[in-house]
Amino acid sequence: MKRAWIVLAVGVLAAQAGHLLAYQIRFGAAAQQVQSSGIHSYFPDAVRSSLGITAALALTGLFLIGLARILSGRSIRAGSAPHYARLVAILFTIQLLFFAAQEMSEAWVGGTRVASVADLLLWGTLGQLPVALIAAAGLRWLLARFESAVHEIRIALAAVPSRVAFVALVALVRNPADRNLLLVPAAGASLAKRGPPSSLRFSTN
């Protein structure tokens, strides 16, 4: 379920990059002007936000992979990952649907004619498919190592208390002096509570 949500989020974010590529192919040098005017004026900010979120997610994943490698002391091997072709198909479908919904919403809000299904499929495929191919490769690599890294981090964190207790036990067994040092505070506290024998008890006789 977590993997499905990650794929969905990446597909929605990648759709903005595909939208940008589709307009670049369709309008050429005028793409920037079309995307930053009228009903499309929101688009540059949406692209920047999508790229920023994608970069933040990628950096977070790489940070966890590096942390897992440090804690485990070995390189993170790739675990089970979704099939590349299947991942491309899923991402492309999500991106194409989001692209079509975005284009139709813009047309309705702007009061212009909605593009035909053929146009949406043509320009959507030209813009979204290359992005889906790249996004699927990166996401497959990241997912395979991210899940393995999370597993390694859980093992390392679970082993921390037991390792500390084991080191303390070995130190007490190997060095009796350390054991005596640990017992001194307890003995001192006990004597402080009991106190020395009072001489008044003997003076009464």
Domain-embedded: residue 72: yes
The reply to whether 42 falls in a domain is yes
- Cα atoms in the 13 Å half-sphere on the side-chain side of 125: 5
Model confidence band, residue 95 (pLDDT cutoffs 50, 70, 90) = very high
pLDDT of the residue at 96 = 94
Instruction: Decide if 128 is inside a domain.
Output: yes
* Distance between CA atoms of residues 79 and 27, nearest Å: 43
pLDDT in tens, 141-167: 888 777 777 777 777 777 666 555 555
For 167, which DSSP code? H
Give the total number of structural domains in the chain.
Answer: 1
Domain assignment of residue 200, yes or no: no
pLDDT of residue 91: 94
String of DSSP letters for 54-104: HHHHHHHHHHHHHHHHHHHTSPPPP-----HHHHHHHHHHHHHHHHHHHHH
Averaged pLDDT for residues 158-179 = 56
Domain region containing 14: 2-159
Residues whose CB is less than 8 angstroms from the CB of residue 107 and which lie 6 or more positions away in sequence, other chains included: 113, 114, 115
Question: What is the radius of gyration, based on Cα positions, of the chain?
Answer: 32
CA nearest to 16, candidates 58, 57, 48: 48
Out of 48-57, 165-174, 192-201, give the one with best mean pLDDT.
48-57
pLDDT for 70 equals 76
Q: How confident is the model at residue 173 (pLDDT cuts 50, 70, 90)?
A: low
Residue 10 located in a structural domain: yes
| Burial (Cβ within 10 Å: 0-12, 13-18, ≥19) of residue 96 | buried
- 36: in domain: yes
Query: Does some domain include residue 199?
Result: no
Report the distance separating Cα 129 and Cα 135, nearest Å.
10
Full DSSP string of 130-148: HHHHHHHHHHHHHHHHHHH
Share the mean pLDDT of the chain. 74
User: 204 lies in a domain?
Assistant: no
pLDDT, tens only, 101-144: 988 888 888 778 888 899 999 999 999 999 999 999 888 888 87
What is the structure's pLDDT at 168?
A: 52
pLDDT given at position 35: 67
